[in-house]
Chains A and B, each alone.
Chain A
């Protein structure tokens, strides 16, 4: 399990964090409880997102913390403890998901735009309508819990590789380098996968929210 990554460079732990780290390495139970309590929320959220069910997410987070406790001596302070734990949580969730095997899925090419010989997009709408214009794209749409659930269902329909990159980049907010490191692919591959994932999501949302 990785202990450091290309996250924040030159991080100097605040005095509070340095003391927490000292206490953790000394085996103080209250320090361990504080570490878990302060970080479990964010770790659980990303695990839920990557694994899609609560039971797997809780087990994955537990594995992440146990791995982190074993690796404390190797923590070099290249990032904050919270960032370090968060990355471990992502790794644990991705490993657990890989161990589950892949579910049958539609290839992403079927969700990408097709083009005519002259470079026009096939099936492009000729009228002025778009599910993303006017009221459809307003803040009311984004704030609706029902809409978010429908968007989540669309995301869940993405092929796994595309879904992972979209979740890490667009939802978790990891940068390209950190995403590449987490998944184990090149930064160029992350950019390509992300663009294809976004295009595919657009297609799915058009089906879910628009006119298809």
Chain B
């Protein structure tokens, strides 16, 4: 199929769906949960409407970019935090000595 989105006018007739209908149900199209008939209507509109085709690309890019931020939180565990948690556990249990023959917590 020739991609003529750059030259055609922006959505003079969006097929059987308006831009509002497409955008408001875009999540179903993106996650594949809409039926085949609806999918065909969506794809016809996206073929005709440059604005909605761009919106879909931006919607998908937004999701991908959000996912990519996950690495920002994967920083090292602060030194001592594990032991601080274990100490708090021991204090909560009211135990200050070793358990089951284990080495006492520092």
Contact = CB atoms under 8 A, between A and B. Distances in A.
Contacts of A62: 81, 84-85, 88
Contacts of A54: 78
A198 B27 contact: yes
Contact of A27 (B57, B72, B85, B100): B100
B76 to A, nearest CB: 8
**Contact-residue bracket for chain A:** 35 or more
A148 B72 contact: yes
Given A120-B18, A124-B51, A132 B58 contact: yes
Interface residues of chain B: helix, strand, loop or mixed (majority):
helix
A45 B61 contact: no
A81 to B, nearest CB: 15
B11 A120 contact: yes
Given A27-B100, A121-B19, A125-B54, A170 B59 contact: no
7 contacts: A28-B99, A29-B103, A32-B86, A36-B82, A41-B77, A121-B20, A126-B10
B86 A29 contact: yes
Interface of A: 26-30, 32-33, 36-37, 40-41, 44-46, 48-49, 54, 58, 61-62, 65-66, 69-70, 113, 115, 118-121, 124-126, 128, 130-133, 136-137, 141-143, 147-149, 151-152, 155, 166, 170-172, 191, 194-195, 198-199, 201-202, 205-206, 210
